[in-house]
Amino acid sequence: MYLCRKYTLMSNNDITTILMVVAPAALVLASAYMILRRMLEADQHRRQAEIRIHTRQETLKIRLHAIEQLVALMEHLSPPELILRTARSANTAAELQMLLLDIIRKETDEYLAYQIYVSIDTWQLVVGARNTITSLVNQSAAELQPNEPAINLSKKIIENTKDLPNLPTADAIAALRHEAQHLFA
């Protein structure tokens, strides 16, 4: 079957021969493509897992540092520690009250950013401890005359602290420790 000399129609044998050559090559190509695609996907998943692990490790370090700093804050704000550090800096009860309130505010303000690294409940305990200590200072100062010696306010704060079931900072420190332990669980 010839149309003309230049152009010839392919016979069924020619088509079969071409298919016998092209079909296995297409199968090999498709297989190679699928294997390569799976390898690339697996590599991408491995890299993403490594990034997640690295991110968790870095976040863990930051969270532990934040918890450490908040524990240190609570230790610094405990009434006995606070009084020991500041009692000699004031002459009158009013001066000591203002100094203590200023220290409580400044130290707490320095650590406000750490709240994003602890749970809301733990942060609420930290804020509650600060508020309780502020109230304790103000309540103790209200029981004295403003011009009394600062040592009298120190004694009154310690007396009023003893009336509390535990130090205002103890619950916050316990919650911070609990949170730190759960970071490794």
Taking all residues of the chain, what is their mean pLDDT, rounded to a whole number?
89
| Residue 90 CB partners (closer than 8 Å, separation 6+) | 96, 98, 99, 150
**Max intra-chain CA distance, the chain:** 125
Q: What angle do CA 49, 54, 55 make, to 5 degrees?
A: 95
pLDDT at residue number 34: 93
pLDDT at residue number 18: 81
Burial class (CB in 10 A: 0-12, 13-18, 19+), 77: buried
CA atoms within 13 A on the CB side of 29: 6
Helix (H, G, I), strand (E, B) or coil at 8: strand
Q: Write down the domain spans for the chain.
A: 60-182
pLDDT at residue number 86: 85
pTM above 0.85, yes or no: no
User: pLDDT tens digits for 18-60?
Assistant: 878 888 888 889 999 999 999 999 999 999 988 888 888 888 8
CA dist 182 and 185 (Å) reads 5
pLDDT at residue number 10: 66
Q: What angle do CA 114, 126, 102 make, to 5 degrees?
A: 85
| Residue 69 CB partners (closer than 8 Å, separation 6+) | 111, 114
User: pLDDT tens digits for 94-147?
Assistant: 999 999 999 999 999 999 999 999 999 999 999 999 999 999 999 999 999 999
pLDDT at residue number 22: 85
pLDDT at residue number 1: 47
CA dist 122 and 113 (Å) reads 14
